Amino acid sequence: MSDFLNGNILFSILLLAHLTGDFVLQTDRIYALKIVSLKGQFLHAVMNFISVFLFVFIAYFNLLPAIISALIVFITHFIIDYIKLKIKERNPFLFILDQALHIGVILVIAILLNSRFTTINLFSNISKYIFTLNGILIIILFYQYFFKNVCYFFNIPLTENKIHETFEFIERFLIFFFAYMHGFFFILIPLILLPRLIIAFKEEKEYYLYDILLSMIVSALGGIILRKLTILEPINPIIFLILGFSCIALYILIGKCSDLIIPNRNK
């Protein structure tokens, strides 16, 4: 695990910055603004600039790699999202391509800067937690956006409900956590699925069942993969839980602040 994570620490940091800027800081209001205007596109690109700058600066304590990384991400992110805006399509294939391009950019940055600058020792020591945070954000937010694109592509009507959304985040994270903990914790996964299964049958919404099944597979697989990567140095379960619930709370808090600052375009 140490060789894998320490050898990819810059990529892990940049990936965390990307997931933060592209998902945590992209609230529903910002997304609604982004898909209809250049102002929204610019605001979203600025969010990614800030995220990358802060993460890289903290990791290196050096302005040069932070500015270089942030500028490259800002320019490429704006261009990629602008092209996607002009295509005027929303489907899972375009979503995956969009994310692949963004991640491809940060991979190039990581390759260019990895041999030129050295991260401070602190980041080498907590690299497994940075990697865990990446996994948590992919499970609870990346999956959410992907599934929404799937539903849009197949004309499946989605019910926007913040309470349900929060329960979905918690459900996916706990499945991810229980799969990582392995053993008898796997028995708890069906119990975590019960609330949404009851809602799905009660409201007769078939897409809920597809979401629950796909969510369970993706989350459990993510937990198993993370365990394999950290098998020699397991992650403290208390810290794991704190990281997960902190991410969910932060996303909800940022959404609330966004609702207060950015006007609702649907009104």
Q: Tokens standing for 129? A: 């937690």
Q: What is the pLDDT of residue 124?
A: 63
Q: Measure the CA–CA gap between 45 and 51, rounded to whole angstroms.
A: 10
pLDDT digits (tens, 9 = 90+) for 135-181: 999 999 999 888 888 888 778 777 667 788 888 899 999 999 999 99
Domain boundaries, the chain: 2-261
Handedness of CA 45, 46, 50, 53 (dihedral sign): positive
pLDDT digits (tens, 9 = 90+) for 88-123: 777 888 889 999 999 999 999 988 887 666 666 666
More confident residue, 42 or 61: 42
Q: What is the pLDDT of residue 1?
A: 47
More confident residue, 148 or 265: 148
H/E stretch holding 115: none
Degrees (nearest 5) of the Cα angle 67, 70, 71?
80
Q: What is the pLDDT of residue 137?
A: 94
Could you tell me if 81 and 44 are in contact, meaning their C-beta atoms sit under 8 angstroms apart? Answer: yes
User: How far is the CA of 188 from the CAs of 134, 178, 248, 251, in angstroms?
Assistant: 24, 7, 21, 25
Average of per-residue pLDDT across 199-225 = 85
Could you tell me if 215 and 200 are in contact, meaning their C-beta atoms sit under 8 angstroms apart? Answer: no
The pTM is what? 0.87
